[in-house]
A = this chain, B = another copy of it.
């Protein structure tokens, strides 16, 4: 690799001058030298070593994002928003996939710290695991103590910037929709029980049920993975345990898609025999059959807002932005068969 010294030598100037010209420093430089240096850069195809730069300036330029899995449309959408804002700020985004392994989450915080990122964005759900939460919080604090910015999406027990989706309200909306359509026998297919996202959405659902005087016994709630496969598995289990249900509330769209697939396979009409409602409004929700009634969260926007919070710290106090959930009626829900 050509170095700055090579460029300087070739242009017959000192490294300092070369550096100033290349970085457009405010220090004035003769036009003749400038041209010689720029020519040398071109001939040598010189690109400054980013590591050396970040070592010399103590200026952090990249930002880190920790997601469960970028290829999951939920995170893909959020990431899109994150990227957009980061790029506007001229910052490189380092994406870390934990594949839902809490240990990896911890590791990645260290790794991002090692890479001197300007900010860490934690997406995905918080965990109901006190020890893990404490450890994570401690690591983030250490990072913040050295000037790092942190923003989380979702409820994590960490004080700092946060974008918090209305999971409880959304759950309430799902429940309200199904109940006011006349359903009384609801089943729920939920993500892992130790995720705050699961419990928050479920809490809203319970609140709606309670208001309508409807039971939601434990046997009607099946926990599984927060993905398509989890959705089919949970639906199968639910159908075995409670064949009388007329509606299924899926705690995210991926699970809802899995449910739809299983119901189709078994020849169970949706919404004729069973209504299905999802959560998140991922892009594919409108393209499945039947188009999915769901609770919309502005995913890309949430990502953008989190990145903005991290990159444009408005003040010293931690900023918390709540984002609203909104019901989107499509074709997978209807009144129960009478």
A142 within 8 A of partner (CB): yes
The residue on B at minimum CB distance from A78 is: B71
1/0 per residue, CB under 8 A from B, across A288-300: the answer is 1110000000000
Chain B residue numbers with a CB within 8 Å of A110 are 47
Q: Quick one: given A45-B142, A71-B76, are A115 and B51 in contact (CB under 8 Å)?
A: yes
Contact of A10 with B by CB under 8 A: no
Expressed in whole angstroms, the Cα–Cα distance for A62 and B283 within the complex equals 31
Q: CB distance B97 to A95 under 8 Å? A: no
Number of copies: 2
Q: Is the interface of A mostly helix, strand, loop or mixed?
A: helix
Residues of B within 8 A of A48 (CB): 114
Most chain B beta carbons < 10 A, residue from A71, A80, A92: A71
Distance, CA A93 to CA B94, complexed state (A): 7
How many chain A residues touch B (Cβ–Cβ < 8 Å)?
46
- A50 neighbours in B (Cβ, 8 Å): 51, 111, 114-116
A76's contact among B49, B76, B111, by CB below 8 Å, is which? B76
Question: A92 to chain B: which residues have CB within 8 Å?
Answer: 94, 96, 111, 115
Minimum CB–CB distance from A117 to chain B (whole Å) comes to: 10
Residues on B with beta carbons closer than 8 Å to the beta carbon of A190: none
Selected contact of A284 from candidates B1, B97, B115, B287, CB within 8 Å: B287
Contact of A286 among B1, B79, B113, B261 (CB under 8 A): B261
The answer to whether B83 and A77 touch across the interface, beta carbons within 8 angstroms, is: no
Contacts of A69 in B (CB 8 A): 80
Task: Confirm or deny: A66 has a beta carbon within 8 angstroms of a beta carbon on chain B.
Answer: no
A54 interface hit (Cβ, 8 Å): yes
A52 to B54, CA, bound (A): 9
Contact with B along A105-132 (1 / 0, CB 8 A): 0000011011110000000000000000
Q: Is the CB of A51 within 8 A of B116?
A: yes
CB distance from A76 to the nearest CB of B (A): 4
A47 touches B113 (CB 8 A): yes
Docked complex: A291-333 residues within 8 A CB-CB of B: none
| Contact of A289 with B286 in the complex, beta carbons under 8 Å | no
Contact check: which of B76, B139, B288 meets A287 at CB < 8 Å?
B288
B residues less than 8 Å from A139 (CB atoms): 45
From B49, B70, B228, B290, contact of A70 by CB (8 A): B70
CB<8 Å pairs between A and B, sample of 30 = A45-B139, A45-B142, A47-B110, A47-B113, A47-B114, A48-B114, A50-B111, A50-B115, A51-B115, A51-B116, A52-B55, A55-B55, A69-B80, A70-B70, A70-B76, A70-B79, A70-B95, A71-B76, A73-B76, A83-B97, A92-B94, A92-B111, A93-B95, A228-B283, A228-B287, A257-B287, A261-B286, A261-B287, A284-B287, A287-B288
